[in-house]
Chain A
Amino acid sequence: DAGVIQSPRHEVTEMGQEVTLRCKPISGHNSLFWYRQTMMRGLELLIYFNNNVPIDDSGMPEDRFSAKMPNASFSTLKIQPSEPRDSAVYFCASISPAVLSGNTIYFGEGSWLTVV
């Protein structure tokens, strides 16, 4: 299995520009998560989807952030307009239904965003 695939791996953009981060979860995983990681705040859950439906977006910082999951194999996280304080590593993660068997969240390698 290829694991959770994220793109782009690195993005440098100017303040005010739109940023779109993409994620392909592991095939068969029915829940998908977007996390943001910074030195100060660690890993923060932004939003998660279950069966392509957004379940909890209470972690989304503000209206500039939006996320979609149009199908089971693709999700996007969009920031518009971007600000320097959005600079962070954004991780996508997915989980299989068999959580109680010990399976748990699998993370992608992250999208490193720098807003200048």
Chain B
Amino acid sequence: QKEVEQDPGPLSVPEGAIVSLNCTYSNSAFQYFMWYRQYSRKGPELLMYTYSSGNKEDGRFTAQVDKSSKYISLFIRDSQPSDSATYLCAMTGTGFQKLVFGTGTRLLVSP
């Protein structure tokens, strides 16, 4: 079993839809949770960063962490075609260097 599980998609939605992306994990030592966005033929770039449980909002993006369920989510409101990309969750414990990534979910937002 992988430490981090993520549905590869693709997830296709119309413009303006609310998107929900999710990851589950098995390592209870994980405390830092991130979402990266990766456009085609580019490197991943940090989108959201949260510590421990709770919610964090940044514009159209909301990250949620439920450590009791070992489940994290990224919500995108009013999705735009420019949001079309692969979204990777990543997490680590106190030893930050060991960042473990999900395989990524490919999101397609159609005009």
Contacts from A to B (Cβ < 8 Å): 4, 31, 33, 41-43, 45, 48, 50, 55-56, 91, 93, 95, 99, 102, 104-110, 112
Contact = CB atoms under 8 A, between A and B. Distances in A.
A114 B44 CA distance: 20
Interface in B20-70: 34, 41-46, 49
A102 B97 contact: no
Contact of A108 (B34, B43, B100, B101): B43
23 contacts: A4-B43, A33-B99, A41-B103, A42-B101, A42-B102, A42-B104, A43-B44, A43-B88, A43-B101, A45-B98, A45-B100, A50-B97, A91-B43, A93-B43, A95-B96, A99-B96, A105-B46, A106-B46, A107-B43, A109-B41, A110-B42, A110-B43, A112-B41
Interface of B: 34, 41-46, 49, 88, 96-104
B49 A107 contact: no
A56 B34 contact: no
Contacts of A56: 97-98
Contacts of A106: 46
B98 A102 contact: no
A105 B104 CA distance: 17
Given A41-B103, A104-B34, A104-B49, A33 B97 contact: yes
**B interface majority secondary structure:** loop
Contacts of B103: 41-43
Contacts of B41: 109-110, 112
Interface centre among A42, A55, A95 (most CB of B within 10 A): A42
Closest 4 A/B residue pairs (Cβ): A107-B43, A42-B103, A43-B101, A109-B43
B101 A31 contact: no
Contacts of A4: 43
Contacts of A45: 98-100
Contact of A107 (B45, B97, B100): B45
Interface centre among B34, B45, B49, B99 (most CB of A within 10 A): B99
A111 to B, nearest CB: 10
